[in-house]
Amino acid sequence: MDQAQIDALRARPIAPQKHLIGGDWVDASDGATMDITSPIDGRVLTTMARGTAADMDAAISTARTAFEDRRWSGQAPSARKKILHKWADLIEANALDLAVQGVRDNGTEIGMAFKAEPGSAAATIRYYAEALDKVYGEIAPTQSDILGLIHKEPVGVVGAIIPWNFPMMIGAWKLGPALAMGNSVVLKPAETASLSLLRMAELAFEAGLPPGVLNVVTGEGAVVGEAMGLSMDVDVLVFTGSGATGRRLLEYAARSNLKRVYLELGGKSPNVVFADAPDLDEAAKVAAAGIFRNAGQVCVAGSRLLVEEEIHDDFVAAIVRAAQAMRVGDPLLTDTHIGAVNSEAQLSQNLQFVKTAKAEGGEIVTGGNRVLAETGGTYMAPTVITGVTADATLSQKEVFGPILGVTPFTDEAEATRLANGTVYGLAGAVWTGSLSRAHRMVQEVRTGVMHVNTYGGADGTVPLGGVGQSGNGSDKSLHAIEKYINLKTAWIKL
């Protein structure tokens, strides 16, 4: 990546943002707007539409019309595939611009954002473009005078609500399979990360997606998100975000049309390091990256370090070295390792977790504080806290910030017990030289993804989904497609 190019892109003014409904840019029905503030320096970048419930209803009804007249699902699979590939081409052609806009909005360091946002989004759209004409119906093995067909049909209108940490990547995880299967979509991005998603959606229309098939409504979760949740006309609701919002969405579904709700929620993922790990220095570096990149604002972040007692002190020293070697700062500088925390609210929540950990007996061995306050941005030093007990707040509650809690264990049984000792089950890792132990831990730790001798980086060929209070259903891979289709039986008497 070229720093001069990034600097030129960051200097560009950003026009006021509107909803994208029916292929047109539209204001909120009451004209209201909200500021988009950059976590890099606390300055207002522009404004966006502060949506109303009426705006959300209009977008849903537009999506319904687009679905009913089959302007998208009625096209040949080869035509739909071509449009989705073109969309991925355009995302790639605009990758740096998209990444910089996204970083100005949400603060992720550009190195990570470039790869994880436009890079991953384009790859996801391509994956489902390729998949869409390989999803076959079935013929049931039933009696000889009957033909039992199982059709796989689009569900209709999909509502998608996404968080602020990786809007394009997570947006594409929903949009790719939903659109590939012929559905219409209304998407609501997060208040603090809508810019890049809006531009990415605009590119879909440049690629030839018919108007109304994808609609984006911005604004507050409690207003437009709630309206989507309570809609009688959304068939499937897919969500990534916090458990608290996930619970609300289930209630909304129960209070409205019993829409199917899929939740990708938070985690408190254990990173378990045994003394027999092949390369402890490498493990320390990867573990540090696994919690501190994007300022810890990664759902699968390895936020609980469980380390075998005999290597505890050495391993903590190695992690602290790795943490201190990571440069925190302006996320648009290519040599920054850790960018900004997404918002003042998130930063003060992080600092409150540090306070609580201290009060509960934890020792802060590095970090624990806000840094670079003079920039006006929201930055936090990578933080390592030792002496964190299994029932401490830091072991039990998701922080979603650059804070690692360390807990020692004495044997495999204790490690497994600790690993499973939360309500979550999103991700985890085991570092060991023993193949048998690695397989045992993969079997016994209750998570959606378990890494062995690495952390993070699982690509689009494998599913990501939580168990327990980390959610249900999966994003990514062919398995994600199941969320966006209905099975319909045709029972034909011959």
Q: Which residues are catalytic?
A: 264, 299
Please, which of residues 133-172 interact with ligand NAD by CB under 6 A?
Answer: 161-165, 170
* Site pattern 360..399 for ligand NAD (x: CB under 6 A): --------------------------------------x-
Residues 364, 180: Cα–Cα separation, whole Å = 48
Interface with ligand NAD, residue 188, by CB under 6 A: yes
Q: How far apart are CA 105 and CA 36, in angstroms?
A: 7
Binding segment for ligand NAD among 222-230, 278-286, 371-379, 486-494 (CB under 6 A)?
A: 222-230
Q: Which of 77-85, 152-160, 217-225, 271-279 is the region at the interface with ligand NAD (rule: CB under 6 A)? A: 217-225
Closest CB 226 distance from ligand NAD, rounded Å: 4
Give residue 331's identity as a one-letter amino acid code.
Answer: P
Contact with ligand NAD (CB under 6 A): which of 222, 345, 487, 492?
A: 222
**CA 59 – CA 65 distance, rounded (Å):** 10
Q: How far is the CB of 164 from ligand NAD (least distance, A)?
A: 5
Query: Which one of 118-126, 221-229, 437-445, 453-461 is the stretch in contact with ligand NAD (CB under 6 A)?
Result: 221-229
Cα four-point dihedral sign 205, 210, 214, 215: positive
Handedness of CA 71, 74, 76, 78 (dihedral sign): positive
Q: Does 58 bind ligand NAD (CB under 6 A)?
A: no
Bridge partners of 364, per DSSP, are 385
- Closer to ligand NAD by Cβ: residue 397 or 437: 397
| CB nearer ligand NAD, residue 266 or residue 405 | 266
d(CA 253, CA 226): 10
Instruction: Report in angstroms how near the CB of residue 244 gets to ligand NAD at its nearest.
Output: 6
Give the separation between CA 358 and CA 348, rounded to whole angstroms. 15
DSSP code, position 288: H
Exactly one of 400, 431, 455, 484 binds ligand NAD (CB under 6 A); that residue is: 400
Alpha carbon distance 358, 342 (integer Å): 24
Residue with smaller CB distance to ligand NAD, 239 or 409? 239
162 or 340: CB nearest ligand NAD = 162
Of 6 and 36, the one with the shorter C-beta distance to ligand NAD is 36
- CA-to-CA distance for 95 and 92, rounded, in angstroms? 5
Cα→Cα distances 474→158, 249, 449, Å: 15, 17, 11
Q: Smallest gap, in angstroms, from Cβ of residue 445 to ligand NAD?
A: 17
Sheet holding 157-161, edge to edge: 24-26, 19-21, 214-216, 184-188, 157-161, 236-240, 260-264
What whole-number distance in Å separates Cα of residue 122 and Cα of residue 109?
19
Q: Is 62 in the site for ligand NAD (CB under 6 A)?
A: no
State which residue, 33 or 486, has the beta carbon closest to ligand NAD. 33
Q: Does 466 bind ligand NAD (CB under 6 A)?
A: yes
Residue from 266, 296, 302, 456 binding ligand NAD (CB under 6 A): 266
Query: Per rule CB under 6 A, is residue 264 in the interface with ligand NAD?
Result: yes
Residues of span 292-321 touching ligand NAD by CB under 6 A: 299
- Nearest to 171, CA basis, from 487, 492, 482, 476: 476
Q: Which is nearer to ligand NAD, 147 or 478 (CB)?
A: 478
Query: Shortest approach of ligand NAD to residue 205 CB, angstroms?
Result: 22
Among 159, 212, 229, 290, which residue interacts with ligand NAD (rule: CB under 6 A)?
229
The first and second tokens of residue 462, run together, are: 């494998």
Kindly list the distances between the CA atom of residue 413 and the CA atoms of 267, 295, 419, in Å, as whole numbers in the listed order. 22, 31, 10
The contact pattern for ligand NAD, residues 242-261, with x = CB under 6 A and - = no contact, is: x--x--x-------------
Residue 191 within binding range of ligand NAD, rule CB under 6 A: yes
Q: Where are the beta strands (DSSP E) in 249-402?
A: 260-264, 270-273, 304-308, 363-366, 370-371, 379-380, 383-386
Tokens standing for 345? 């609210």
Angle, CA 444 vertex, CA 438 and CA 447 arms, to 5°: 95
Residues that bind ligand NAD (CB under 6 A): 161-165, 170, 188, 190-191, 221-222, 225-226, 229, 240-242, 245, 248, 264-267, 299, 398, 400, 426, 464, 466, 471
